[in-house]
Amino acid sequence: MSKPPTISDAEWEVMTILWANSPLTAMEIVSQLAGHKQWSPRTVKSLLNRLVKKRALDYSTRGNRYLYRPRVTRDACVRMESGSFLSRVFGDAVGPMLVQFVQQADLSRDEIEQLEKILREKSNSGEK
């Protein structure tokens, strides 16, 4: 599997929708974005075009519509992005990165407890 292309911020929004649920037509994507983005449908079309050109998306035809679907997995893209961002900012220091993220994240009580539990276990099982 070849490495995924670079996906920009705006493009990421579109991919997110398709990773969650595909294939979808352009209009369906537009509707799903409508909630939290004020993009004109034109804008979304442009993004779709770019993503197809980048080979991040693929489509088939249904009548006169296109049905878009991802050609790259979310996982692969996350790994890529993580690679560049994380290595830039944190180098290979995973610990400080997690500290930073946990500090910033908006966590639910459940998640906090879950994390605390994991940490307790880790600390009992004798980490260095």
Site residues for a second copy per CB under 8 A: 9, 12, 16, 78-79, 81-86, 88-91, 94-96, 98-109, 111-116, 118-119, 122-123, 127-128
Helix pair 74-90, 9-20: axis angle to 10 deg: 140
What is the per-residue burial (b if ≥16 Cβ within 10 Å, else e) of 51-87?
beebebbbbeeeeeebbbebbbeeeebeebeeeeeee
Does position 2 interact with DNA (CB under 7 A)? The reply is no
Site string for DNA, 11-50 (x = CB under 7 A): x-------------xxx----------xxxxxx-xxx-xx
Which of DNA, a second copy, none does residue 70 bind to, with CB < 5 to 8 Å depending on kind? none
